[in-house]
Structure 1
């Protein structure tokens, strides 16, 4: 699932304001050693934090239907996880890096939500809309200063991009066979005999009519 999010983010960054720019999109940790090997403009999206969005957790089960709409299995609702990316620009001059970051903002800001058609693989098959935030306030994720310290690099301008995605929760449970027949209602008249007309009126597919049992 995580690699599919990488593909989605890479596809977004290769479009919009960065389309046709030839800027490389990387997912490496931006360490000093990695930065020293750069010889061409690049935008790096380093996945630095993964944690569950507990506010989205649901209880119970959800039905899984086949192509005919029949419930075949039931499973637990998906668990949602926040994938936080540290997005940085790498060129020879700070001014050019700022232009790249501006292009990243212009590219990602229109995508507050990602429809299933914009996703790939098993992530798209879930049929759920995925939220995306850019440069939002830090809440549960580690501070970016801590991230740079752990990487051993110097603090530089960056964008915090968070994509919150569903991850299927297993196992699945077999559902019972579908109900194909309804229950009939048999009504007795005051003399104890069965009122067949009343029974038909209460069967599924028959429109109930007025009148009292005799």
Structure 2
């Protein structure tokens, strides 16, 4: 799922014309060594945070079907995760970096949810809304930008925080094959635990539906001797 969110972000920025202007788009960590090797205008989209959004956790399962409409498995509900990215621009002059970062910001803030055409793999299969938020107010339970730069060993510079909420598809438990035979009951009389005759076999063919021949089909109910039916005389 993570690489599919990366691809959605890449397509979003490409659609805004980022690569057409000769800018490299990468997902590398913007460390000091990396920045020293850079030789072209670059936008780095660095993933630095992954955590589950527990408020969206659900229980239960949904059924998976094959082409013939038979149940093949039961899928757990998806788990939602918040992915946090640090987006930075790199050029030879701060003014050019700010101009490039402004173009990226304009593209990101006008997108509240990833367009369906940019979702691939499991994200496209689930067909759920993948929300995103750029340059939002920080919360106390997330690492600060200063902490991220300190961990990277680089110097603090202007950056855009981008958060994406994406589902991770649940596991599928295979279902057993459907019942295709009727219920079979064997009875046999026994003396001291040993059968005295082969006994009887009762077979009800087909599904046990009320309209069929199975155990669920409606049958006349006989009352014990001496019991009366409602509104009538004694049962015969």
Q: Deviations over 1:131-172 (max 9, x none)?
A: 111112223431111000001111101001111111123242
**CA distance, structure 2, for counterparts of residue 67 and residue 163 of structure 1:** 34
TM-score, normalisation: structure 1: 0.78
CA separation of 1:107 and 1:182: change in aligned 2, threshold 3 A: farther
Structure 2 unaligned segments of length 5 or more: list them: 180-206, 212-216, 221-228
1:59 corresponding residue in structure 2: 59
2:119 is aligned to 119
Deviation at 1:118?
A: 2.2
| Counterparts of 1:45 and 1:151, CA distance in 2 | 14
**What does residue 162 of structure 1 align with?**
163
Kindly state the Cα deviation for residue 11 of structure 1 after the two structures are TM-superposed. Answer: 1.1
RMSD of aligned C-alpha atoms? 2.8
2:71–2:175 Cα contact (<8 Å) kept: no
Secondary structure in 1 aligned to 2:45?
strand
**Whole-angstrom distance in 2 between the partners of 1:133 and 1:69:** 39
Runs of at least 4 residues of structure 1 off by over 4 A? 67-71, 175-178, 184-192
Quickly say closer, same or farther: Cα 1:176–1:108, change in 2 above 3 A.
farther
Q: 1:11 to 1:148 in 2, by over 3 A?
A: same
TM-score (norm 2): 0.71
**Which of structures 1 and 2 has the larger relative contact order (alpha carbons within 8 angstroms, sep 6+)?**
1
Structure 1 stretches lacking a partner, 5+ long: 193-214
Number of equivalent positions = 192
